[in-house]
Amino acid sequence: MQPRTVTSAAALLIGNELLSGKVHESNLIELARALRALGVRLERVVMIPDEIDVIAREARALSDAFDVVFTSGGVGPTHDDVTIDGLARAFDVRALIDPTMEALLRNAYGERCTDGHLRMALVPEGAELKTTPEVLWPTVVIKNIWVLPGVPEIFRMKLAVVRSWLRGPEPFISRAVFTKLDEADLKPLLDRIVTEHPDVEVGSYPKWFDPTYKTKLTFDSRSELKVRDAVDSFVALLPKGEPQRVE
């Protein structure tokens, strides 16, 4: 199994319950962390309702714009689980019962298996089923779109399949500097670092009510040397005696 190399990614979070605040969205941070560790940049996130036309439109747009897209939600047995239908419409194909998925569901539910359960065997025509030796329940992939569940526990399990099948071109290198200076005081120093180190992504994150630091600065790049140079340059600009921690 040779993982596919991808650079850019997007996420499509699907569910009326997310937009209404009935359910706390927790899959995005797990996806972002997993992709970052693989060296894949998550560049866009879209949250939409359970509407087939909206899913189709947004999925097609993201598929055209990014190397890989991940959906979350809308793949269960109920009336509002319409992600598969939306993806089928996005690519002008049918949503069909997959024999492999059907057999797994019938084996799992036995005599209790209903038409509702079998809705979870629907896949867009032409889709692939991805598995690993550890995660045997298939993950549906249509074109460059990975269809992941909305249930956080299952979503996290499926990320193991993503890790096996995808990778970035190079890992990201990240270091952080913690200071007791306010962001406003750090701005002229950061402006200089950003100008002098254009290949390093610099982030600034203030923290209130923490006795150990006021602002955390992050330095990210695919080059360890460039990150180290940027960090060293920034630390050298700090006022003499300014307490700071580098990680």
Fold that domain 4-167 belongs to in CATH: Molybdenum Cofactor Biosythetic Enzyme; Chain A (3.40.980)
pLDDT at 205: 97
What does the pLDDT look like over 107-147, one tens digit per residue? 999 999 998 899 999 999 999 999 999 998 999 999 999 99
Q: Is 6 exposed, middle or buried (0-12, 13-18, 19+ CB in 10 A)?
A: buried
- Every domain of the chain with CATH number 3.40.980.10 lies at 4-167
Above 90 in pLDDT, residue 1?
no
In the chain, CATH 3.30.70.2860 sits at: 173-246
Distance CA 76, CA 119 (A): 7
Distance CA 119, CA 135 (A): 21
- Whether 176 and 218 have beta carbons less than 8 Å apart is answered as yes
- Structure token digits, residue 12: 């499509």
Give residue 201's pLDDT: 97
**Residue in 126, 118, 123 with CA at minimum distance from that of residue 138:** 123
Domain at 173-246, CATH from 3.40.50.12780, 3.10.105.10, 3.30.70.2860, 3.40.50.300: 3.30.70.2860
pTM of this structure: 0.93
Tens digits of per-residue pLDDT, 54-99? 999 999 999 999 999 999 999 989 989 999 999 999 999 999 999 9
